[in-house]
Structure 1
Amino acid sequence: MLLTITTTHQPATDLGYLLHKNPARLQSLEITGGQAHIFYPEATPERCTAALLLDIDPVALVRSHRGPAGEGFALEQYVNDRPYVASSFLSAALVKAFNTAMNGTCKDRPALPEVLLPLEATVAVMPAASAEQLRRLFGPLGYEVETETHLLDPTQQEWGNSRYFTLRLRHPALRLQDLLSHLYVLIPVLDRGDKHYWISQEEAGKLLRRGGEWLPRHPEREFITRRYLRFAEFVNPTLERLLGDEALDEETPETIASFSAGTPEYSESAAEAVAPADANAATKQNLHDLRLDRVAEEIRRLGAKQVLDLGCGEGKLVRRLLKNGAIEHILALDVSWRELERAQQRLHVSEMPPRQRERLTLTQGSLLYHDARLAGYDAAAVVEVIEHLDESRLAAFEQVVFARARPGAVLVTTPNADYNQRYEALAAGDFRHHDHRFEWTRAQFTAWAEGVAEHHGYRVRIEPLGPEAPEVGAPSQLAVFEQ
C-alpha cells in the first residue's frame, strides 16, 4: 500500500522538515507484519513529494495471527488483500513514521507546523462502498476528492469494478498535521476488515486525541466513531464526549451497514430513517426505534404483567416497558456486565422512586444455559439477539426459552437478509454487523419459527419490521409466539 503527500509550498522542501525525514535518503522501519519505507520521488523548491510504502508480508501476518482466520479455508490466510489495501496497518504506520509531524512539532522550524500548505495526498488503494462514500467522508473536511475505479479483473471485464479506489485529495491551505490526522482516523473507518490490533478503551482516547478538533463538526461523525471503535461499549461514551447533548441515544448495527451512496433512507442522525405510521407526524423513527416500539406495543396488547427482556443491552426496551403501568415486573438479562452497568446509568436506577425500582431487576445471565429465574413470565422479548449466537447453539437457546422458561408469549426480532442487497456498503454475503454469526432470509426465519412453535406448543405469526421494498421485504422481521 502506498501513500504520497505532495506540496507546492515555497520552498516545497519544507515538507522534509515537517516530516522529520531527509529527502536525500531512503529510510526504512519495522512495522507489524513487515516494513515501511519513506522516500521522496521528487524534492525541488517548487514541488516536493514524500512517499510512505508499506511492504506487508502475508506469511508474517499468519505467523503473528493477525491475518484473516483460516481454519475453515486455509488459503485465505495467505491470499487476501491485507498487503495491498489501505487499512489499520497504514494508519499505525503513519504514527510510527511521522509521529513528530502528527504531534505538530518541528525542532528546526518551530513555526512551520502551523503554516497552511497546499497539499495533495494519494492513497493506493482504498476500499469503499462507492466513490460517493469517499466524498462524504473527506469532502466536509475541505478536500477536493478525486477517485479512480479499478476493474475486479482486467481479463474478465464483465465482472465489473472492484470495491477498491485510488483516492486523491487536494486541499488549498491545510496544516500537514491535520491531513495526517484525517488519514489516521478515516483509513481504518473504511477498512472493512477488523483492525489488526486489539480494540480497547485506549482506542477511544486515540480517536479523541486525533479527531477531537474536527470530528464533532463532521456530518458523518457518528458513522466514523462507530466504525473506528466497532464496539458499543466504547462507541457510546465516546460519542457522548464528542457531541455532548447531541450524542445519539440509539446505537444500531444498521447505522454501519447503510452508510453508502444511493441509500435514500440515510440521514445524519439515523442511517435508516423511516416514515412513522402517522403520516402527519413531524418526526421520523429510525429502524431501531421502530423495532423497540413495535415490541413494546405488542407486549401491551398481550396484557403482560411479568416481562422478560432477554439480551437487554443498555436498557432501551426496558425504558419503554417501564412506561407501561400494567407491567408489574421486568427482569432484564444480559451476558455483558458492562452493558448492565450502562443500563443502570442510562435508566437512572439509583434515582428511581422505590416503587418504580421494585418493578425492575437487572441481572447477568446467558440464554444458552437453564436459568430458573426465567420461569413464570407472561412475555419475553428477544430483540436482535439470536443472530449473535452460533446457529449450532440455537437448540440450546430454544430449550432455555421455549422448553424450560416457557413464557406465555415470546417476541423475537432479527435482520432480514433478503434486504441486505439494499445496502450498497455490504458486499454479497456480508453481514450488517461484525458480531453477527448468521442472518436469515424471510423464508429461513419463517421455517425456524414454525418449527420452534410446533415443537414447543406455541402458535406463531411473522411480521415485517420497517419499510417494505419490492422483492426483498422489510429490513427486519418479527416473530410473535403465543402458547
Structure 2
Amino acid sequence: MLLTITTTHQPATDLGYLLHKNPARLQTLEITAGQAYVFYPEATPERCTAALLLDIDPVALVRSHRGPAGEGFALEQYVNDRPYVASSFLSSAIAKVFNTAMNGTCKDRPELPEEQLPLEATVAVIPAANAEQLQRLFEPLGYEVKAEAHVLDPTRPEWGDSRYYTLQLRHPAVRLRDLLSHLYVLIPVLDRGDKHYWINQEEAKKLLRRGANWLPQHPDREFITRRYLRFAEFVNPTLERLLQADENATDDEAGEAALDVEAHAALAEIPMALGQLEEVGAKQPLHELRLDRVAEEIRWLGAQRVLDLGCGEGKLVRRLLQIPHVEHILALDVSWRELERAQQRLHVAEMPPRQRKRLTLTQGSLLYHDPRLAGYDAAAVVEVIEHLDESRLAAFEQVVFARARPGAVLVTTPNADYNQRYETLSAGEFRHSDHRFEWTRAQFAAWATGVAERHGYRVRLEPLGPEAAEVGAPSQLAVFEQ
C-alpha cells in the first residue's frame, strides 16, 4: 500500500523539514507485520513528493494472528487483500512514521507546521462502497476529491468495478498536520470489519484527540465515529462529547478556543463514560472472559482429563495447565499453523518434563471419528461450531457426543440477538467473515436441548459477557453433563 504527499509550496523541499525525513535518503522502519519505507520520488524547490510505502508480510499476518480470522477453517487468513489495500495498518504507520509532523512540531523551522500549504495526497488503493462515499468523507474538509475506480478483472469486464479506488486529494491551503490527522482517522473508517488492533477506550481518546479540530463539525461525524469505534459502548459517549463540542463552537476565535476546551474535557471524561465497560471490555476482552469462564467451569467439575477442541494458539490450554487437578490435556486443531503457534506461545520445548507430559498438541478434525478423543472427563469447544457449515453439525455431534462421549462438554458461540448492538453490522451480517452461521439464544437452546436428549446428557445455558436488555449477552455457553 502506498501513500504519497506532494506540495508545490516554495521552496517545496520544506516538506522534508515538516515530515522530519531527509529527501536525500531512503528510510526504513519496522511496523506491525512488515516494514515501512519513506522516500522522495521528486524533491526540487518547485515540487516535492514524499512517499510512504508499506510492505506487509502476509505470512507474518497469520503468525501474529492479526489477519482475517480463519482459525484454520478457511483460506481467508492466507489469501486476502491486507498486504495491498490501505487499512488500519497504513493509519498506524502514519502515526508511527510521521508522529512528529502529526503533533505539529519542527525543531529546525518551528513556524512551519502552522503554515497552510497547497498539498496533494494519493492513496493507492483504498476500499469504499462507492466514489460518493469518499467524496462525502473528504469534501467537507475542503478537499477536491478524485476517485479512480478499478475493474474487478480486466479480462472479465462484465464483472464490473471492484470496491477499490485510487484516491487523490487536493487542498489549496491546509496544514500538513491536519492532512495527516484526516487520513489517520478516515482510512480505518473505510477499513470495514478488519482493524488489526483491539478497540478500547484508548481508541476513543485517540479519535477525540485527532479529530478535535474538525470532527465535531463534520456532517458525517456519526458515521465516522461508528465506523471507527464500532461498539455502542464506545461510540455513544464519544458522540455525546463531539455533539457538546459542536454546540460550543462558533465562527470566531473564541469559538475555536471553546472547541479546544471541549476536546480536552472529552479526553478527561471519556474514561469515566466508558468505566463500566472497562472492567469486562478493555481490561478483559470478550474472548478472554469466555476462556476464563470455561476454565472456571472445568475447575468446578473436577475434570482430570480434558479435551480442548479447536485449541487455536493455546490460550485455554494455558489456563488449564494452571489447574492442579487437571492431569492431561489433549489440545486438537485442524490448522497445523495454529498448533505451531501454540507450541511457541506455551513454550512447550522449555516445559519441565512433568509439565510436558500433561499436554498433547495434535492435529485433527471435529468432523471425523477420532479414537484419541475417547476417555476424557470434559471437552471445551470455544467459538468453534460457528465456523462449521450447519449441514455438518450432525457429524460434529456424532464425533463428540456419540463417539468420544466426554463426561461434560462446554460449547460457546456468539449470540446473534446481540449483533444489533455492533454499530457496523448490517442486518443478517456475521461478526466474522469465516462464520458459517450465528445463532440466536432460542436457536442455540433448541440445538443444545436436542443434542442432550439424543445422547443422554443434561444441559444448562448461560450468557457470557455484559448483558443488555432485550438482546442478552454477546456470547452464550452450553454446559452438557452426562
Spell out, residue by residue over 1:371-402, the C-alpha distance to the aligned partner (whole angstroms, 9 max, x if none).
xxxxxxxxxxxxxxxxx99879x99xxxxxxx
- 1:129–1:426 CA contact under 8 A, matched in 2: no
Aligned to 2:181: 181
- Aligned to 2:95, the other structure's residue is in SS state helix
Aligned to 1:75: 75
CA distance in 1, matches of 2:156, 2:131: 22
- 2:69–2:434 CA contact under 8 A, matched in 1: no
Aligned to 2:469: none
1:131 equivalent in alignment to 2:144: no
Aligned to 1:241: 241
Over 3 Å counting, the alpha-carbon distance change for 1:155 and 1:237 in structure 2 is same
1:112 equivalent in alignment to 2:112: yes
Kindly provide the amino acid, as one letter, of the partner of residue 26 in structure 1. Answer: L
CA distance in 2, matches of 1:86, 1:430: 26
Query: How many aligned residue pairs are there?
Result: 296
1:338 shift after superposition: 3.8
CA distance in 1, matches of 2:434, 2:76: 20
Kindly provide the amino acid, as one letter, of the partner of residue 95 in structure 2. Answer: V
1:230 shift after superposition: 1.1
CA distance in 1, matches of 2:168, 2:78: 29
1:28-67 equivalences in 2 (<5 Å): 28-67=28-67
Over 3 Å counting, the alpha-carbon distance change for 1:337 and 1:140 in structure 2 is closer
Over 3 Å counting, the alpha-carbon distance change for 1:245 and 1:433 in structure 2 is farther
Aligned to 1:431: 429
- 2:69–2:432 CA contact under 8 A, matched in 1: no
Aligned to 2:27: 27
- 2:386–2:437 CA contact under 8 A, matched in 1: no
1:199 shift after superposition: 1.2
Range moving further from structure 2, 227-236 or 83-92: 227-236
Kindly provide the amino acid, as one letter, of the partner of residue 134 in structure 1. Answer: L
1:194-205 equivalences in 2 (<5 Å): 194-205=194-205
- Aligned to 1:431, the other structure's residue is in SS state coil
List runs of 5+ in structure 2 lacking aligned partners.
Answer: 248-274, 281-382, 394-415, 451-482
CA distance in 2, matches of 1:245, 1:75: 45
- 1:389–1:436 CA contact under 8 A, matched in 2: no
CA distance in 2, matches of 1:435, 1:82: 14
CA distance in 1, matches of 2:67, 2:386: 25
Aligned to 1:257: none
Report the RMSD for the aligned CA atoms in angstroms: 4.1
1:337 shift after superposition: 6.7
Which has the larger share of helix?
2
- Aligned to 1:90, the other structure's residue is in SS state helix
CA distance in 1, matches of 2:104, 2:207: 16
Aligned to 2:337: none
Over 3 Å counting, the alpha-carbon distance change for 1:72 and 1:340 in structure 2 is closer
Over 3 Å counting, the alpha-carbon distance change for 1:340 and 1:196 in structure 2 is closer
Query: How high is the TM-score relative to the length of structure 2?
Result: 0.54
Over 3 Å counting, the alpha-carbon distance change for 1:437 and 1:16 in structure 2 is same
CA distance in 1, matches of 2:69, 2:230: 18
- 1:389–1:437 CA contact under 8 A, matched in 2: no
Spell out, residue by residue over 1:340-375, the C-alpha distance to the aligned partner (whole angstroms, 9 max, x if none).
99xxxxxxxxxxxxxxxxxxxxxxxxxxxxxxxxxx
Over 3 Å counting, the alpha-carbon distance change for 1:41 and 1:339 in structure 2 is closer
Spell out, residue by residue over 1:99-132, the C-alpha distance to the aligned partner (whole angstroms, 9 max, x if none).
1100000000000000010000000000000000
List runs of 5+ in structure 1 lacking aligned partners.
Answer: 248-335, 342-387, 396-411, 417-424, 456-483
- 2:69–2:433 CA contact under 8 A, matched in 1: no
Range moving further from structure 2, 64-73 or 152-161: 64-73
Aligned to 1:221: 221
1:210-359 equivalences in 2 (<5 Å): 210-244=210-244, 338=277
1:193 shift after superposition: 3.3
Over 3 Å counting, the alpha-carbon distance change for 1:35 and 1:120 in structure 2 is same
Identity of aligned residues (%): 75
CA distance in 1, matches of 2:231, 2:111: 39
Aligned to 1:3: 3
Query: How high is the TM-score relative to the length of structure 1?
Result: 0.54
